[in-house]
Amino acid sequence: MNRLHNFSAGPGALPLSVLEEARDEMLSFGTAGASVMEISHRSPEFTAVLEAAKQHLRDLLGLTDEWHVLFLQGGASLQFYQTALNFLGDGQTADYVNTGAWASKAIKEAKRCGNVNVAASSEEDAFSYIPPVDTWKLSDNPAYVHFTSNNTIYGTEFRTDPKVNAPLVCDASSDFLSRPIDLSGYGLIYAGAQKNIGPAGATVVLVRDSFLQTARKGVPTMLDYSVHAAKLFNTPPVFAIYMVEKVLRWLKDLGGLGSMQRRNETKASMLYSQIDSSGFYRGTVQPESRSLMNVTFRLPSEELDARFISEAKSQGLVALKGYRTVGGIRASIYNACEPDSVRALADFMAEFERVNG
């Protein structure tokens, strides 16, 4: 077996123990006499998986009965449109915070549905910071306020939950379950599974019932959150949910979100302290907005960026190239990226600087 130190931005690394468990169950799952991919999504065996996955989310986040837990398809990209289609009614305005490429895409889709007010943006400074909440120019009575909790491409992250006078709608795709959150201000949270909680194919949506009651009626059936909240409407992404259930169990066994936050802070500080202690590496974002999930930096030249990436690869440290439109280096260190991998990268950075600095 040759598993490398994987810093992929998504789909990202999965816990080894989860992959091993899935491998062992691949041909025959429990008493089903078939793999989990070959049985009805309404069978007792799969129903137990689905209910367990929902319960783990409730336990990890402390979700009360006022929250619906949905596993949808179409990725976070469909959520950009689906949230607006359901919650941005005629004559209403929704406020958006533009902190990067994904936030911009969310804004583009929302404009198809109604009025959008961009309440704050860091675009003028290459999305290098999170605009502080007290600078946001919110509209009078927005239907909701949308933000992106972690900006996968640029490497910035909200470290606290914003407080505003309207329901928060959050794209949490790239830091979901990486830390505890204060749910009190939220109406809806969505996240593609493939970074922190499982493989691609499932999108988690958490929606508060009182917010759901404000949704527009009569939207197309598959895009109507109420339909999915009421019952298991169609075949869900069974294999992805099965894997998510295992990842959530792994997360609970590690001690839950508080422990995960400490582990993530420790990992991120190994890399940021390497950047801060050197005149060689240059972080690309303002320190107070730094992401614990995607650490972005540059070397003194593009040539050195390229050499860093290729030498790292030859030492088993892979997927470090920055996003194609941004360049530089990006180390994605989601929940399942092991501290040992991050230590190996920090050591490599020190050695690369010694030789090339």
Among residues 152, 156, 274, 296, the one that binds ligand PMP under rule CB under 6 A: 152
Q: Which of 95, 161, 171, 224 is catalytic?
A: 171
Which of 99, 122, 174, 335: binder of ligand PMP (CB under 6 A)? 174
The smaller minimum CB distance to ligand PMP, of residues 86 and 152, is found at 152
Between 35 and 77, whose beta carbon lies closer to ligand PMP?
77
Window 184-203: residues binding ligand PMP (CB under 6 A): 192
**Catalytically annotated residue among 195, 246, 267, 321:** 195
R_g of the chain, CA atoms, integer Å: 21
Rounded CA separation 58/169 (Å):
18
Q: Which residue is listed with tokens 């970074």?
A: 195
Beta carbon of residue 283, minimum distance to ligand PMP (angstroms, whole number): 19
Closest approach of Cβ 35 to ligand PMP, in Å?
A: 25
Dihedral pair phi/psi, residue 87, rounded to 5°: -115, -10
Binder to ligand PMP among 157, 161, 171, 245 (CB under 6 A)?
171
173 binds ligand PMP (CB under 6 A): yes
Cα 273 to Cα 160, 181, 215, 298, 327, distances in angstroms: 22, 26, 46, 15, 21
Smallest gap from residue 344 Cβ to ligand PMP (A): 24
Among 7, 46, 96, 102, binds ligand PMP (CB under 6 A): 102
Instruction: Give the integer Cα–Cα distance in Å for 151 and 171.
Output: 10
DSSP 197: T
195 part of the active site: yes
Window contacting ligand PMP (CB under 6 A); options: 21-29, 70-78, 162-170, 205-213: 70-78
**Residue 70 CB burial class (10 angstroms; 0-12, 13-18, ≥19):** buried
347 flagged as catalytic? no
Count of residues in contact with ligand PMP, rule CB under 6 A = 11
Catalytic status, residue 95: no
Q: Which residue is nearest to ligand PMP (CB)?
A: 75
**What is the rounded distance in angstroms from the CA atom of residue 11 to the CA atom of residue 196?**
9
Dist CA 256 CA 264 (whole Å): 12
Nearest approach, Cβ of residue 14 and ligand PMP (Å): 16
CA dist 239 and 196 (Å) reads 16
Q: Which of 12, 15, 75, 201 binds ligand PMP (CB under 6 A)?
A: 75
> Shortest gap between Cβ of 109 and ligand PMP (angstroms)?
11
Rounded Cα gap, residues 93 and 117, in angstroms:
7
Measured in degrees and rounded to the nearest 5, phi and psi for residue 99 equal -115, 15
Strands 317-318 and 145-148 turn out to be unpaired
Segment 308 to 347, residues that bind ligand PMP, using CB under 6 A: none
Label the pairing between strands 168-171 and 186-192: parallel
Pick 82 or 152: Cβ nearer ligand PMP: 152
By CB under 6 A, tell whether 161 contacts ligand PMP.
Answer: no
- Window contacting ligand PMP (CB under 6 A); options: 39-47, 57-65, 167-175, 204-212: 167-175
15 versus 192: smaller Cβ distance to ligand PMP: 192
Burial 254-281 (b: 16+ CB within 10 A, else e): eebbeebbebbeebbebbbebbeeeebb
Q: Is 148 in the site for ligand PMP (CB under 6 A)?
A: yes
* 77 scored as a contact of ligand PMP (CB under 6 A): yes
Give the three-state DSSP class for 293. coil
Are the beta carbons of 296 and 329 closer than 8 angstroms?
yes
* Contact status: 283 vs ligand PMP (CB under 6 A): no
Tokens representing residue 112 in the block: 């198809």
Residues 206-235 that bind ligand PMP (CB under 6 A): none
**Catalytic residue list:** 102, 171, 195
Residues binding ligand PMP (CB under 6 A): 10, 75-77, 102, 148, 152, 171, 173-174, 192
